[in-house]
Amino acid sequence: MLNGQEIVEELLEMVEAAPDLVVQHAVQRIHEQGPPYDWVGIYLLSGDLLVLHSYLGLATDLTRIRVGEGVCGMAVAEGRDMNVPDVEAVDYYLACSAETRSEIVVLIRDGERILGVIDIDSDTLAAFGEADERELRRVADVLGELLGPRLR
Ligand code: SME
């Protein structure tokens, strides 16, 4: 199971020595848990576009997603995290891999300001539960805190 607190502590230590690696480190640590975290990416918001900053998993050409499009863009537009147990049931879903069955998107915020999203795709149906939501929220919150002042 993902241990968000462990990752939070690493990110807090890392930000002093290697601030540019913080986003990549978060992606790496989540992805290395293995399935169901099959594809892990972090998109950062730039105007009304989510721009892919780092990812691990199969190559994707979805490097830019407009706010309001896809599960990622909808999470930003609605200002809430999204846990989609079956991507086929969502008409605004944007397919990145034909294998993907479920997806979770967690907002990265600094206070009210949305900075981006952690996006995770799974090849397993209904892969993510409350524990994933909670642990990912921990990681997203510290990313928001660390990135907020750097993205002003
Ligand atoms: N499925 C996402 C698109 C990004 S990929 O998962 C890499 C979405 O609907 O926003």
- pLDDT-derived band of residue 19, with 50, 70 and 90 as boundaries? confident
Q: Which two tokens stand for residue 36?
A: 């169901």
**Which CA distances in Å does 69 have to 26, 49, 65, 133?**
24, 10, 7, 21
Pocket test for ligand 1, best of 52, 58, 65 (most atoms within 8 A of CB): 65
**DSSP letters spanning 32-65:** TT-TT--EEEEEEEETTEEEEEEEESS--S--EE
Task: State which ligand 1 atom lies nearest to the alpha carbon of 72.
Answer: 10
Mean pLDDT of 117-139: 98
34-57 burial code (b ≥16 CB/10 A, e <16): eebbbbbbbbbbeeeebebbbbeb
pLDDT of 32 above 80: yes
pLDDT at 20: 87
pLDDT at 152: 73
Q: Which two tokens stand for residue 51?
A: 């721009």
Does ligand 1 have an atom closer than 6 angstroms to the CB of 57? Answer: no
Q: Which of 59-63, 83-87, 136-140, 148-152 has the lowest mean pLDDT?
A: 148-152
Does ligand 1 have an atom closer than 6 angstroms to the CB of 121? Answer: yes
Strand partners, 104: 83, 120
